[in-house]
A and B are shown apart, each in its own frame.
Chain A
Amino acid sequence: MQNRNSYKKIEDFLSDESFQRWVRRNEDLTHWEEWTLESTERAKLVEEARLWILAMKVEETEISNEETQLALQKTWESIAQSNKRSPIKVIWQSNWFKSAAAMIVIGLTTLIYFTSETKIATNTTITYQELVEKDSDGLIEQTNNSDKPQLITLSDASSVLLQPKSKLSYPKTFTGNERKVYLSGEGFFEISKDPKKPFYVYANETITKVYGTSFRVVAYSNQPNVEVLVRTGKVKVSSNQDIKNAPIEEVMLLPNQAARFLRKKLLFEKILDITQDKPLLATTNSIEQLSFEFKDIPVSQIFRTIEQGYLVSIDYPTEKLNSCYLTTSLSDEPLPEKLKIICESLGNNTRYEMNGNHIIIISNGCN
């Protein structure tokens, strides 16, 4: 605040809280009275400012505590109602989600429609290098030059399996209200749950936002499309706002939905049912693009993943296995081994039979 000795206008006094208190309530902790009497010029100004305050009373009715509490209650009810209207949030808040840590598999896959010489409009592409340079935090970069996935543990206890020929940049420790990493190539992410700190994967021109889950991202720089594929849960994918002369595109994805980002046109195509989309289905059938890291997942979901990954059909007693959840890592197991591990986890009474591409699970339920 300005020193009162330099007050020259009525405005200066009117906006001085301690002056207001002195006039209104005769509180004179800072000795306005003495100060005023120090000069006649000052006294005149003070007198006029006082008139202004006296003439500008604001009469308000204080709302009682009880009424405020009722209003607050009503507000929470409206919030609950507005949540109900949105099906996305219902899924998000259902017991299934509360009891089971969500698994989301996002495949950011790129389809090669053209040869590798395809020219992607260069002025609108965003490269991994640009993204990393922009981030002001000191980033650590890991490059996987080996021929096996490489495990990276992040400061928030999240882990990333980085595929060969891929790069990941991330801060040594996540600070602030966001967790941001930058990917070139492919990685399998297992993100620790923290609703207060959303996790972002920047890959090419897209940004994928989650609050805590596991998913796979594949984004190579020399391919024309980016596809995001969701199995369960909710994911937001948007275009990077830094793309020159382009509005931000945004897609919210629910289970079995997908988005295809056309890098040339800078647009998302939303695919409402991945099973109806042939190019996409071709990529989902590829086992490399599925995650077999399961964390508290209904066994029915695990079977569905296996069905899609191996192009098989699985019959199982739906009701008996209704409330069975599994936490298991099946990534590096061949199909028979996967089925064996699942059956052992469910209990002694469970076994499987396999006839060609048809699998039957025999079970009395889990304990």
Chain B
Amino acid sequence: MDKLRTNNEKLSDSTLWNQLRSGDEEAFSLLFERYYSPLVNYGKTLMSESDIVKDCVQDVFVNIWSYRYKLNDAIAIRAYLLSCVRKRIARYHEREHIFSKVKDVDSLDFLFDFSIEEQLIADETMAIKVQQLNRLINYLPTRQKEALYLRYHQGLSVEQVAEVLNMNYQSTKNLLHRAILQLRKDFPISVLALFVEFSINH
């Protein structure tokens, strides 16, 4: 057990996952420690009450342990966990709004706003450009924003983003591509003129 713990950094997700699937409590704890914080942070992009988000993430882990012998191997652990948290939060909404408004997993709103890397901005011109771009990104439809977040912040592949968002591969690819295309259209020509021709042509 102790050995497992000291080697925590070295053990890959899939090693831990397989040990967990065969009932290893220590592997379960290590995965929990590794993913609790990122999952809570993701959950907070979908629901503002952070206490409930934390409960949801814990419920996800309770279920994983309960069904450990039925879990699949060869899955992308991060994508799987993110998707579990998303479904769990959707279910919570569903219960809360059962008499008013039903929220299913497809209509969850991504509440998050991207911010700006202030300290990395060298000059005024750049600051203006980044601010404009940031505003445009945050105006995107929530689904496109969430796809961007999952793809570029969580580092998921397009297939995995599709899985988490419960969409097919091609529409996810289009969604991601449209988000960027749209912004380039909206972005003032003066700022991006140089790039537009290049990217459209490719």
Nearest-Cβ distance from residue B159 to partner chain A, whole angstroms: 13
Pairwise interchain contact B202-A177, C-beta atoms closer than 8 A:
no
Nearest-Cβ distance from residue A43 to partner chain B, whole angstroms: 10
Pairwise interchain contact B133-A51, C-beta atoms closer than 8 A:
yes
- Given the complex of chains A and B, what is the CA–CA distance between A15 and B120 in angstroms? 19
Of the listed stretches B5-13, B34-42, B74-82, chain A binds B34-42
From B37, B66, B137, B195, give the contact of A82 (CB < 8 A).
B66
Whether B176 is near chain A, meaning CB under 8 Å from some CB there, is yes
Pairwise interchain contact B137-A56, C-beta atoms closer than 8 A:
yes
Pairwise interchain contact A8-B202, C-beta atoms closer than 8 A:
yes
- Given the complex of chains A and B, what is the CA–CA distance between A198 and B117 in angstroms? 52
Pairwise interchain contact A17-B180, C-beta atoms closer than 8 A:
no
Nearest-Cβ distance from residue A114 to partner chain B, whole angstroms: 38
| 8 closest cross-chain pairs (CB), A and B | A196-B22, A55-B134, A63-B37, A55-B133, A60-B41, A8-B202, A54-B117, A57-B115
Nearest residue (CB) in A for B18 is: A177
With contacts A41-B198, A48-B192, A56-B137 known, what are 4 further pairs, Cβ within 8 A?
A15-B151, A56-B153, A68-B33, A177-B21
Contacts of B180 in A (CB 8 A): 9-11
Chain A to chain B contacts (Cβ below 8 Å), 6 pairs: A11-B177, A20-B152, A56-B148, A63-B41, A75-B32, A78-B59
Whether B29 is near chain A, meaning CB under 8 Å from some CB there, is yes
**Chain B positions 152-189 with a Cβ under 8 Å from a chain A Cβ:** 152-153, 155, 176-177, 180
Nearest-Cβ distance from residue B110 to partner chain A, whole angstroms: 12
- Given the complex of chains A and B, what is the CA–CA distance between A41 and B199 in angstroms? 10
From A41, A52, A62, A72, give the contact of B32 (CB < 8 A).
A72
Nearest residue (CB) in A for B173 is: A11
Whether B58 is near chain A, meaning CB under 8 Å from some CB there, is yes
- Given the complex of chains A and B, what is the CA–CA distance between A45 and B198 in angstroms? 8
Nearest residue (CB) in B for A42 is: B198
- Given the complex of chains A and B, what is the CA–CA distance between A14 and B115 in angstroms? 16
- Given the complex of chains A and B, what is the CA–CA distance between A52 and B126 in angstroms? 11
- Given the complex of chains A and B, what is the CA–CA distance between A130 and B117 in angstroms? 63
- Given the complex of chains A and B, what is the CA–CA distance between A9 and B180 in angstroms? 10
Whether B121 is near chain A, meaning CB under 8 Å from some CB there, is yes
Whether A320 is near chain B, meaning CB under 8 Å from some CB there, is no
- Given the complex of chains A and B, what is the CA–CA distance between A58 and B113 in angstroms? 8
Residues of B in contact, count (CB < 8 Å)? 50
Contacts of A71 in B (CB 8 A): 32, 36, 54, 57-58
Whether B97 is near chain A, meaning CB under 8 Å from some CB there, is no
From A15, A74, A79, A177, give the contact of B65 (CB < 8 A).
A79
Nearest-Cβ distance from residue B101 to partner chain A, whole angstroms: 28
Nearest residue (CB) in A for B202 is: A8
Contacts of A60 in B (CB 8 A): 38, 41
Nearest residue (CB) in B for A211 is: B69
- Measured CB to CB, the residues of B under 8 A from A are 21-23, 29, 32-33, 36-38, 40-41, 54, 57-59, 61-62, 65-66, 69, 73, 112, 114-117, 120-121, 126, 129-131, 133-134, 137, 148-149, 151-153, 155, 176-177, 180, 192, 194-195, 198-199, 202
Nearest-Cβ distance from residue A238 to partner chain B, whole angstroms: 12
Whether A117 is near chain B, meaning CB under 8 Å from some CB there, is no
Pairwise interchain contact B202-A9, C-beta atoms closer than 8 A:
yes
Nearest residue (CB) in A for B45 is: A58
Pairwise interchain contact B114-A58, C-beta atoms closer than 8 A:
yes
Whether A195 is near chain B, meaning CB under 8 Å from some CB there, is yes
Contacts of B115 in A (CB 8 A): 57-59
- Given the complex of chains A and B, what is the CA–CA distance between A217 and B186 in angstroms? 71
Pairwise interchain contact A56-B195, C-beta atoms closer than 8 A:
no
Whether A24 is near chain B, meaning CB under 8 Å from some CB there, is yes
Nearest-Cβ distance from residue A280 to partner chain B, whole angstroms: 30
Contacts of B129 in A (CB 8 A): 51
- Given the complex of chains A and B, what is the CA–CA distance between A237 and B102 in angstroms? 37
Nearest-Cβ distance from residue A92 to partner chain B, whole angstroms: 13
**Chain A positions 14-36 with a Cβ under 8 Å from a chain B Cβ:** 14-15, 17, 20, 23-24
Whether A44 is near chain B, meaning CB under 8 Å from some CB there, is yes
Contacts of B177 in A (CB 8 A): 11
Pairwise interchain contact A75-B61, C-beta atoms closer than 8 A:
yes
- Given the complex of chains A and B, what is the CA–CA distance between A350 and B127 in angstroms? 94
Contacts of A41 in B (CB 8 A): 198
Pairwise interchain contact A79-B62, C-beta atoms closer than 8 A:
yes
- Given the complex of chains A and B, what is the CA–CA distance between A23 and B155 in angstroms? 16
Whether A139 is near chain B, meaning CB under 8 Å from some CB there, is no
**Chain A positions 56-90 with a Cβ under 8 Å from a chain B Cβ:** 56-63, 68-69, 71-72, 74-75, 78-79, 82
Pairwise interchain contact A54-B65, C-beta atoms closer than 8 A:
no
- Given the complex of chains A and B, what is the CA–CA distance between A196 and B25 in angstroms? 12
**Chain A positions 246-267 with a Cβ under 8 Å from a chain B Cβ:** none
Q: With A48-B195, A54-B121 in contact, is A177–B22 under 8 Å at CB?
A: yes
Nearest-Cβ distance from residue A24 to partner chain B, whole angstroms: 7
Nearest-Cβ distance from residue B88 to partner chain A, whole angstroms: 13
Contacts of B148 in A (CB 8 A): 56
Q: With A72-B32, A196-B23 in contact, is A61–B66 under 8 Å at CB?
A: no
